[in-house]
Structures are given as structure tokens and as C-alpha cells.
């Protein structure tokens, strides 16, 4: 199951009210046209529904006949100040920004594209709040998996922020994953799924100490689902895991996790398509350091192997 708290990412957006803010703004009627003598600064803005919440001294001075291209420059400066202050987006060097809207409380929202990494939706809340475009896209995908007709909520729309897979590939590289990444998404807060072309994928968690990765074959054993890794791709991980051991010829049909041994190696039982199964003790790199045939398993664990049938009793000698 994908952690349900991920769906709260958009709701927590983040206590800044963004999810409900934009539709309301979009329905705000434009300010009626007036003469230059009567017009307020916000009435002269191209998007009058948002102008009151975003005007600065430069906005107040701007008149209708000024070049429209000055507006994005103002948005870049405003968005840069917000992402620099907001938690989690401090390293973003804003290259492009757009005004998204304001809510009834006067909080204004901008989308910002960054020179590297994901873009963000940021708000003028106190303190400023930000959520990255990868998380927003992941929340939308998760919602649509549960209900294809679900409202995806607020999404990033700048062309530079449509680089979700490229950002995910960067995260995979940082986590030490060397496969050809062909799919990826945020699936929980600071958790991402990596899909690998023709082989087992991963979940990776971003922690203060660095990236932590979980192989999809091991997650499947714990009844957790990788959406980008099928059973064939997960099974393809076992030859490398068992390589160089007496179990190297085992075509793994089923596996179960037993726990850790005294050396902190994770112990699995594997059932083979033919012949005896094995206990395999895996190191931190998911490589089997020691294997035991199931015929001997009872010497090492109580109850022995359970996936592999016990050897048939020897026939009684003929009289």
C-alpha cells in the first residue's frame, strides 16, 4: 500500500490553503475598466484578480502602456525571495516564475522554476511555504490510481517544471542506483519509487543522513507493491543475489524473510523451481554471503524451511 499520508501532502500544502485557493481565485471577476485618473494600481494589472495581493511600489507605478515583459521579471524576484526563505526550497535559483493566484485570506501563490532540481509552488504565507512540483505530480498520480476521475489538484505548469522523470533520475543517481531509470514518482513524503528498465526497481527515502534504498523484490516479500516493477523484473534480482554460492542455479519461485542473524545479515528462505530450497544470509549490498540447503535448515532455524517440502522419508528396507 502507498502510505495514505502522502495524500495529505496536498492538503498540508501545507496549511497554506493552496488546494482550495486557486479555484476561488479563478472565479473572481475582473475589475471593471476605468480611466487612468480613476484606475487603482490593481485595476491596471493584466490579471486584476491577483493584482491587489502582489502589488509592490513598482507595480503601483506601472501604467498600461509599459512593456508586458517586465511582469515576469517582477515575479522571478518575488519568487526568489520566497523560495530562499521557505523551508525545503532554499537552494533554488529561480529562472522563471508565474503568478498562480490568491486566496480569500490574501495569501498569494507563485510557481517557480529552478536552475537545477525540482520547481516549487510557493506562497506569501508567514513564514513562506513551498511544495515541490515532483511531490504535487506524485500526489496527483496516487489520487488517480485510487479514482481515475479524481481532481489532480494544483499542478505545476511551467515548461521547465515538466521534468519530473529527470529529477527522479537525479535522485536515483544520488542514491547509488545504476539501472536505466524509465519511470519514477513521489509516493510519500520524501519517498520516491524508481522504475528500472527490465529489472528490479526501488523505493528511495530522502533522510537527513542521505538516501536509503529498498529493493522492490524485498518489498514484495513484505506485501508492499512497487507500481513500476512487475513480478518478472523482481525475480530477475535473485541470480545476482545468489551468484557465487551453491544456490546460484536456483530459479527462485518464492521467498520469505526470516529476520537478521548475529552478524546483522538478513536471512531469507528461497524456494527453487527444481530441487532443494535454501536459507540465504544477505549482506548490506543484498548479496548472499552464506547459504544453507533446506535439508540442513533445521540446524540453523527452528522449524527449518517452510516453502520447500521436507524430504520424503527413506523407504523401509525389504525383508
pTM: 0.73
**Residue 59 clears pLDDT 80, i.e. is over it:** no
pLDDT at 215 (0 to 100): 95
pLDDT at 72 (0 to 100): 67
Confidence of residue 312 (pLDDT cuts 50, 70, 90): very low
pLDDT at 203 (0 to 100): 97
pLDDT at 71 (0 to 100): 56
DSSP string, the chain: ---GGGGHHHHTTTTTTHHHHHHHHHTSPPPPP--TTT--TGGGSSSHHHHHHH--HHHHH--TTS-TTHHHHHHHHHHHHHHHHSTT-TT--EEEEEEEEE-TTS-EEEEEEESSS--EEEE--SS--EEEHHHHHHHHHHHHHH-TT----S---SGGG--HHHHHHHHHHHTT--S-EEEEEEEETTEEEEEETTEEEEEEEEETTEEEEEEHHHHHHTT---TT--HHHHHTTHHHHHTTSTTTT--EEEEEEEEE-TTS-EEEEEEESSS--EEEEE-TTS-EEEEEEGGGGGGTSTT--SSSPPPPPPPPPP-
- Segments making up each domain of the chain, as ranges: 4-138, 163-229, 237-299
**Residue 42 clears pLDDT 80, i.e. is over it:** no
What mean pLDDT, rounded, does the chain reach?
A: 79
pLDDT at 25 (0 to 100): 37
What pLDDT, in 10s, does the model give residues 140-169? 999 999 999 999 888 999 999 999 999 999
Amino acid at each position: 500500500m502507498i502510505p495514505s499520508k502522502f495524500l495529505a501532502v496536498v492538503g498540508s500544502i501545507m496549511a497554506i490553503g493552496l488546494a482550495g485557493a486557486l479555484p476561488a481565485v479563478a472565479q473572481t471577476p475582473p475589475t471593471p475598466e476605468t480611466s487612468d485618473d480613476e484606475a487603482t494600481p490593481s485595476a491596471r494589472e493584466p490579471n486584476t484578480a491577483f493584482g491587489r495581493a502582489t502589488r509592490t511600489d513598482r507595480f503601483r507605478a506601472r501604467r498600461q502602456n509599459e512593456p508586458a515583459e517586465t511582469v515576469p521579471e517582477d515575479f522571478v524576484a518575488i519568487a526568489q525571495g520566497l523560495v530562499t526563505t521557505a523551508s525545503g526550497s532554499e537552494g533554488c535559483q529561480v529562472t522563471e516564475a508565474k503568478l498562480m493566484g490568491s486566496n480569500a485570506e490574501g495569501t498569494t501563490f507563485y510557481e517557480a522554476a529552478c536552475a537545477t532540481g525540482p520547481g516549487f509552488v510557493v506562497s506569501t504565507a508567514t513564514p513562506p511555504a513551498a511544495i515541490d512540483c515532483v511531490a504535487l505530480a506524485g500526489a496527483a498520480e496516487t489520487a488517480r490510481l485510487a479514482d481515475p476521475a479524481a481532481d489532480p489538484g494544483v499542478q505545476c505548469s511551467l515548461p521547465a517544471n515538466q521534468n519530473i522523470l529527470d529529477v527522479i533520475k537525479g535522485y536515483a543517481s544520488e542514491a547509488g542506483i545504476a539501472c536505466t531509470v524509465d519511470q519514477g514518482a513521489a509516493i510519500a513524503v520524501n519517498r520516491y519509487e524508481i522504475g528500472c528498465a527490465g529489472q528490479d526497481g526501488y523505493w528511495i527515502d530522502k533522510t537527513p543522513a542521505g538516501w536509503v534504498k529498498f529493493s522492490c523484490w524485498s518489498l514484495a516479500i513484505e506485501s508492499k507493491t512497487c507500481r513500476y516493477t512487475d513480478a518478472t523484473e523482481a525475480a530477475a534480482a535473485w541470480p545476482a543475489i545468489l551468484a557465487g554460492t551453491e544456490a546460484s542455479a536456483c530459479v527462485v519461485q518464492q521467498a520469505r524473510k526470516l529476520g537478521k542473524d548475529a552478524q546483522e545479515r538478513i536471512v531469507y528462505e528461497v524456494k527453487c523451481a527444481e530441487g532443494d530450497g535454501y536459507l540465504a544470509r544477505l549482506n548490506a549490498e543484498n548479496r548472499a554471503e552464506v547459504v544453507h540447503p533446506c535439508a540442513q535448515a533445521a540446524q540453523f532455524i527452528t522449524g527449518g524451511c517452510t516453502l520447500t517440502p521436507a524430504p520424503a522419508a527413506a523407504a523401509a528396507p525389504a525383508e
